[in-house]
A and B are shown apart, each in its own frame.
Chain A
Amino acid sequence: MVRITNLHKVFGKLNVLKGISLEVSQREVVCVIGKSGSGKSTLLRSINFLEEPTSGSIEVDGVEVTPALTGRQRKERIHKVRLLTGMVFQDFNLFPHKSVIDNVIEALLIVKKIPRAQAVEIGESFLGKVGLIDKRDEYPARLSGGQKQRVAIARALAMDPKVMLFDEPTSALDPELIGEVINVMEAVANEGMTMIVVTHEISFARDTADRVVYMEDGNIVEEGAPSQIFSVPQDARTQQFLQRYLNGRS
């Protein structure tokens, strides 16, 4: 479903991604973990071209963007990839000047050009799924962090993507609000969505992920089933990270 091939990203002099290759199959849930600054966000943001890769190619559901592709054709492909992917950000990025329902249907209206009545219907069904139908006409400022993130998930899902990208979706939340977002994400995973999740929530990775990827310094150091990565990590760097991380947390 997603194929990343030899992806490099350089910011000025900073070499942030050093040749990442990763394949994610349909219905798979992949969690990406790693230290701050290791390039997790950059990797995720390269998949939908919020960051332009320095080199390497990205393929989502058969739509491939290679470095050879330029100009108009490239723009069109990137647009297609963006329609195939939904993204959830750490700080929600809901549109503050729009009500909850308008947040969810905005792109349905102006990107997919779906008639309003039909878009509202779709929007309401996804708000129902994240359990926020009663907040339909609220403005984002009046929601809790957990509610905001659930609206953001509904907004992304309403576009009917093939892959969902989550960049630390619970990191900006108060601890007591993390659960409600994790529950929604688990439900999305159970419905068979392909997901790539950058997260510090080890419990989510352990319970829901099919595969865990450990990144360090712009490279994928190790990947494997959660049971393997969390209990018997092979690479010394992964061991060290998990040891520090798990001790620091609990």
Chain B
Amino acid sequence: MTDPSLAVRRLARSFVFKVILVWLVILGCGGLGFSLIRLNVGFIGEWWRFIVYGEGTSDVWRVGLITTVFISVISIIGAIILAFLSALGRLSRNPLAYGISTFYVSLIRGTPLIVQIFILYFGLPQINQQLAKLIPNFEQQFSLLSNLLLLPALPTGILALSLNYGAYMTEVFRAGIQSVSKGQAEAATALGMTPGQTMWRIVLPQAIRIIIPPVGNDFIAMTKDSALVSVIGVQELLWRAQKVGVQNFRSMETLLIAAGIYWVLTIALQAIQSRIEKRLARGDR
């Protein structure tokens, strides 16, 4: 055995050790600051379960974090479908498909997500109102359209996030599909495959490797952006934190709970993401 004090000293000099030290100091300063503003730790301990998963209510495990995750998962699926269709339009030589795709991407990327959420939630009902005035029995006759225009908060939030991320991910899908050499589609076509078969069986499975890493990043970003739908009253994590905080004049405490949960969630998702990426890299042929 070597001198143990030597090992300790080497550890003390190591980069990782210093970095951990810096983190601890920052957290310590934070804690000190919080004690100066008399942050109520007891309040946090008492309320976090209620905020995060609705403990003690009839909605237990149906609000808060679960809602956040639910919105994110459904929205990323919606975004993937939209991005795929939009990328096909973008790659199409059909002017209608190309036009719709580029218009969609430009409009969505050119406006803030929060504005899109507001338009879908507060703006669309106005259209319903006008149509109801113009068309007798509109809400009965066109109930599907009317229901779409009067979508409740949760589906509206999911729709907004899907539309928004779908537009940003269009480029990812386009690049992924284009990364597959033209010869692949030609070989498939020469074998008698239809354009649909060629896309599903030959091009997409190869494009997926390019597409998965950025979609993973977008999913992580989406879990954080999902907090925006709190503004239309969806009972996700931030909404509950905000509500409890305002009612008890303990906003810092409740917002810290929300921030902490988002942080842990993000770190967990990043760990999963890097695993998937490693696996993809290993399967490289």
Binding site for B on A (CB under 8 A): 48, 50, 79, 82-83, 85-87, 89, 91, 93-97, 106-107, 110-112, 139-141, 152, 155-156, 159
Contacts and interface: CB of A to CB of B under 8 A. Distances in A.
A93 B188 CA distance: 9
Contact of B186 (A93, A96, A111, A140): A93
A195 to B, nearest CB: 15
Interface residues of B, number: 18
Contacts of A159: 191-192
Nearest to B205: A97
B179 to A, nearest CB: 12
A173 to B, nearest CB: 16
Contacts of B192: 79, 82-83, 107, 111-112, 159
B190 A85 contact: yes
A3 B277 CA distance: 51
B193 interface: yes
Contacts of B186: 50, 89, 93
13 contacts: A48-B190, A79-B194, A85-B190, A93-B186, A95-B206, A96-B285, A106-B191, A106-B201, A107-B191, A112-B192, A156-B190, A159-B191, A159-B192
A93 B183 contact: yes
A107 B285 contact: no
B35 interface: no
A94 B285 CA distance: 13
- B191, B197, B205, B285 pick with most chain A CB within 10 angstroms: B191
B144 to A, nearest CB: 32
B190 A95 contact: no
A83 B202 CA distance: 18
Given A82-B190, A94-B187, A96-B206, 11 more contacts: A50-B186, A50-B189, A83-B192, A91-B183, A95-B188, A95-B206, A97-B205, A97-B206, A106-B201, A107-B193, A111-B193
